[in-house]
A and B are shown apart, each in its own frame.
Chain A
Amino acid sequence: MKRDEIFNKLSDLIIANNKELNKEQVMMNSTFEDLNMDSLDFISIITDLEKQYNIILTNEEVGQISNVSQAVDVIEKHIA
């Protein structure tokens, strides 16, 4: 399912960005604060996802994402 695929890609990027996290810790309702990500980590991951899916998120959309589930929603909307 598309959402699972997006979630997995996002999880992989989050783990790659932070060696101290493991896959089980990244959940749909995890906030980026929970995952110890600062604003630049977050932008870097969003930029990677945009490249992988060949989509462009608006600044407003990016500004409103505060947890994993919201990120998955926005990306799913763009690839629909």
Chain B
Amino acid sequence: MITGLGAISAIGKNVNETWESIINCRSGIAPMTVLLPGELRFKNAAEVKNYDPSKYFSKKKLDSQDKFAQFAVIAAEEAVADAGIVWTDELRRACFVITGSSIGGQDAQDKGFQDLYIKKQPSLDLFTIPKTMPNAAASQISMLFGITGMAFNISSACSSSSHAIGNAYWMLRNGACDLAVTGGSEAPLSFGFLKAWEVLRVVSTDTCRPFSKGRQGMILGEGAGMIVLEPMENALKRNAKIYAEIIGFGNSSDAAHITKPAQRGPELAMELALKDAGISANEIDYINAHGTATFANDPMEVSAIKNVFGEHAKKLAVSSTKSLHGHILGGTGAVEAVITVLGLQNQIMPPTGNFLEVDPECDLDVVPNAAREGKMNYAMSNSFAFGGLNAVLVFKKWEGE
């Protein structure tokens, strides 16, 4: 059961703001404010607006935490407070922290390289390693709450946080832990990393228009999503507020190309997620798509959905909220999980923003430009990463009080 949510991204610094943006189809994509020391072909990104880390962290804490870990801690704090967790030593020992981040502290790494190669400084910032290591978020969250159970980070590019949440769910289901704080984060907007994306030609020079004619590619985003998971008996026993249930996790690998997706991989992940959930394809009402708005992904994903869902594909709604919060890479699965769960709770389908015109290769109901009320019992969330690593989650609406 999902009993707590936390999120920070271009569309809101907390869950309420995030949901407000979703139901109003408000995009957080705008010209980058981060200072860049050179030319970049794309100018827009999905940045957290007016982020002031000093409002959340002491100077001492900031010395040892790069942005991606800061976002993860902010979201985790919100989620744990939201869940109303009352910590005991026993609970701390029985809690797992599983985060997803693919690249860790890029700002710190970028600065380190500049200090070393350009400024030729004899030594680097003391906290370079603690800041750059991709497990920093998991460690900081464990330190913050005194969680002594298993804690680690999963790095699988764009599927990192979906893999994190899915694995936490499986571990909880198998009784390996009694509580999980799980999700992911990414802060990819540093110059070196941005240049590396530029050369792949998949980043849009205008905005992110998933499934639409005229789409130009993806927009990079930053932020974090975190959820608190616990077994049903525990949640009910302590009268926890329940948002929704995770009921299935499906995985596959394409075993094909290091960047281009191979359709059978995503299809298999969706099929396995349905099997793990114990429901049929016809029962899914809404899919939060991977929907990066690249030329490669969108038609492939639509075709994969049609193959898995058959005739039912025409009846279900498929939207990509990356149109609003950008592609948060390792953190995107978690932010999308938070949004999907809120959609189920409120019975409102999140929209695909910036939609111009139907692309015949992507002719599903993509909930264009406006969120829509709709009966949803089951929802799916897709993540398909570079290197062919696919992770799919299935959620169920909570029927109880």
Contact = CB atoms under 8 A, between A and B. Distances in A.
Given A38-B260, A58-B216, A43 B200 contact: yes
Interface string B199-239: 11111110000000010110000000000000000000000
A40 interface: yes
A63 B202 CA distance: 9
A59 B200 contact: no
B41 A56 contact: yes
Contacts of A63: 295
A39 B204 contact: no
Contacts of B216: 58-60
A39 B296 contact: yes
16 contacts: A38-B260, A39-B257, A39-B259, A39-B260, A40-B257, A40-B259, A40-B260, A43-B200, A46-B201, A47-B199, A58-B205, A58-B216, A59-B203, A59-B205, A59-B217, A60-B216
Contacts of B259: 39-40
A59 B259 CA distance: 16
Interface in A12-60: 38-40, 43, 46-47, 56, 58-60
A47 B200 CA distance: 9
A59 B260 contact: no
A56 B39 CA distance: 13
A39 B258 CA distance: 10
A47 to B, nearest CB: 6
Q: How large is the interface on B (under 10, 10 to 19, 20 to 34, 35 or more residues)?
A: 10 to 19
A38 B201 contact: no
Contacts of B203: 59
B199 A38 contact: no
A56 to B, nearest CB: 7
Given A40-B259, A59-B205, A62-B201, 10 more contacts: A38-B257, A39-B257, A39-B296, A40-B257, A46-B201, A47-B199, A59-B201, A59-B202, A59-B203, A63-B295
Nearest to B203: A59
Nearest to A64: B295
Interface of A: 38-40, 43, 46-47, 56, 58-60, 62-63
B220 to A, nearest CB: 14
A28 B200 CA distance: 25
Nearest to B258: A40
Contacts of B258: 40
Contacts of B257: 38-40
Nearest to B202: A59
A60 B212 CA distance: 12
Nearest to B260: A39
B198 to A, nearest CB: 10
Contacts of B200: 43
B260 A43 contact: no
A59 B199 contact: no
A46 B200 CA distance: 11
Nearest to A39: B260
Nearest to A63: B295
B45 to A, nearest CB: 16
Contacts of A60: 214, 216
A40 B201 CA distance: 10
A59 B197 CA distance: 13
Contacts of A39: 257, 259-260, 296
Interface in B96-146: none
B197 to A, nearest CB: 12
B298 to A, nearest CB: 11
Contacts of A56: 41
Contacts of A40: 257-260
B194 to A, nearest CB: 15
Interface string B229-252: 000000000000000000000000
Nearest to B218: A59
Contacts of A62: 201
Contacts of B202: 59
A58 B217 CA distance: 10
A63 B298 CA distance: 13
